[in-house]
Amino acid sequence: MARLIESLATTTALAELFSDESVLQALLDFEVALARAEARLGTVPHAAAESIAAVAKVEAFDIASLSHDMLRAGTVGVPLAKALTGRVREKDAEAARYVHWGATSQDVADTALVLLLKHAQPILAEDISRLELALAKLSDDHKNTVMLGRTLMQGAPPITFGLKAAGWLGAVYRCKRRLDSSFAEALILQFGGASGTLASLGEQGSAVAAELAKELGLACSEAPWHAHRDRLAHLLCACAVLGGSLGKIARDISLLMQNEIAEVSEPGGQGRGGSSTMPHKRNPIGCALTLAAAQRVPGEVAAFLSAMVQEHERGVGGWQAEWAIVASVIQSTGLAVASMAEVVEGLLVDAARMRTNIVVTHGAIFAERAMMLLAPKMGRDTAHKLIEEATRKSAAQEKNLSDVLAEMPQVTAHIELSALRQLEVPEQYLGSAEIFRKALVSSARGNPKQEK
């Protein structure tokens, strides 16, 4: 369960993943895996490894006491090793000698964090897949739904809602690829001992590292990375870019939900989207949660990047700052993805309202089309000035642009009235919208070749 203060910043699954119990288990998993790996290589007795594994259970530890001791020690490793050694000693005094054998505090802290990231990846991936499928369907369903294009928050030539959804999909797909690549790099063992040389293990250092990585299901790095945080930084940056792309979708949808626009609306439901004082409200809650995450994460990533400047073989203050940052970024990213998946899966689209919002512009958004029809006859600059004059008259008289143009001899001398009557048909001024839409959807579906 998420704490109340985190209720708008995580999902249930990720709150459980980064709970005290889950974090402690990840720390203990490192210690057990280390003992077993070393036992297989003969570095420690097999009996010792099994004794360590037998007591390395979350329920055997006082989490509140451990948390207090970790704060006092300034690291998770020392109090953990001490507490685990004490529990093992109660069972097998000889085995207690081999707890945390050859490791250093940062080894257990970093690897536990990586293990948590390993478990987070499929949680994020599942919701990203949901979102991609929902966006692809939304795009296909509305490939012929015309709507206003909007540039600088003003009405522009028409597009299709299918193209807009495909644009959202393309961004999510690209972000997913970057995120997958970043996870592949970040899910890597940290094991270097005191100075990153594993000197305490003699000639077996690299062999123990390889066996330990195998035991934990992680990649084995070429060398320990205590003071080199680039892999984690790359992952968090990928999360931030994904969050920004999700925030763009949320911003678009929340703007389209405004009462005066009313082209789409989030799915409702018991307890969702209401107001404590205004019973009529249907608020963009999923969008709000996503936008909050998109605003929160960049600052956290910036803090992580600042902490990358670490001293020599192991830094002071830099990596100690990371746990809370990484946990927050991953949870915020997961909440944003899950929120947008829910929004898009149930998004209500008012195609009739989209067309109405085109109509109420009195054809002004087709000014470019009219100019391009006249430009070959009189030059672009002259045509631009003429159409600009016509749009002013259209707005002042609340008449359609095509009707105003039909009253202008300079226009009718070059454009037939039948053509002017077709000027404001949005389906006739969509350009390559469908080509672009198909290309985006096809790429996201794993088929880079454009659909026929």
Residue 222's contacts (CB-CB under 8 Å, 6 or more residues apart) are none
Confidence of residue 269 (pLDDT cuts 50, 70, 90): low
pLDDT single digits (tens) 71-130: 999 999 999 999 999 999 999 999 999 999 999 999 999 999 999 999 999 999 999 999
Say yes or no to pLDDT of 274 above 80: no
Report yes or no on 255 lying in a domain: yes
Say yes or no to pLDDT of 411 above 80: yes
Mark whether 239 and 155 lie in a shared domain.
Answer: yes
pLDDT single digits (tens) 142-182: 999 999 999 999 999 999 999 999 999 999 999 999 999 99
Burial class (CB in 10 A: 0-12, 13-18, 19+), 333: buried
**Active-site choice (87, 314, 369, 437):** 314
Mark whether 142 and 268 lie in a shared domain.
Answer: yes
Number of domains present in the structure of the chain: 3
For residue 395, what is the domain's CATH number?
Answer: 1.10.40.30
Confidence of residue 278 (pLDDT cuts 50, 70, 90): very low
Mark whether 234 and 162 lie in a shared domain.
Answer: yes
pLDDT single digits (tens) 301-312: 999 999 999 999
Mark whether 238 and 348 lie in a shared domain.
Answer: yes
Output the pTM of the full model.
Answer: 0.94
CA distance 371 to 323: 58
pLDDT value for 282 = 73
Mark whether 264 and 237 lie in a shared domain.
Answer: yes
**Active-site choice (275, 380, 392, 421):** 275
CA 255 to chain centre: 21
pLDDT, mean of residues 362-383: 94
For residue 352, what are the domain limits?
A: 106-188+225-361
CB 1 within 8 A of CB 16: yes
Q: What is the mean pLDDT of the chain?
A: 94
Mark whether 23 and 169 lie in a shared domain.
Answer: no
Report yes or no on 294 lying in a domain: yes
Q: Token pair for residue 140?
A: 């296909």
Say yes or no to pLDDT of 52 above 60: yes
pLDDT over 70 percentage in the chain? 96
CB 61 within 8 A of CB 88: no
Residue whose structure tokens are 């594993």: 198
Q: Is 22 a catalytic residue?
A: no
From 265-269, 340-344, 402-406, the region with the lowest mean pLDDT: 265-269
Confidence of residue 268 (pLDDT cuts 50, 70, 90): confident
For residue 231, what is the domain's CATH number?
Answer: 1.20.200.10
Q: Is 339 a catalytic residue?
A: no
For residue 42, what is the domain's CATH number?
Answer: 1.10.275.10
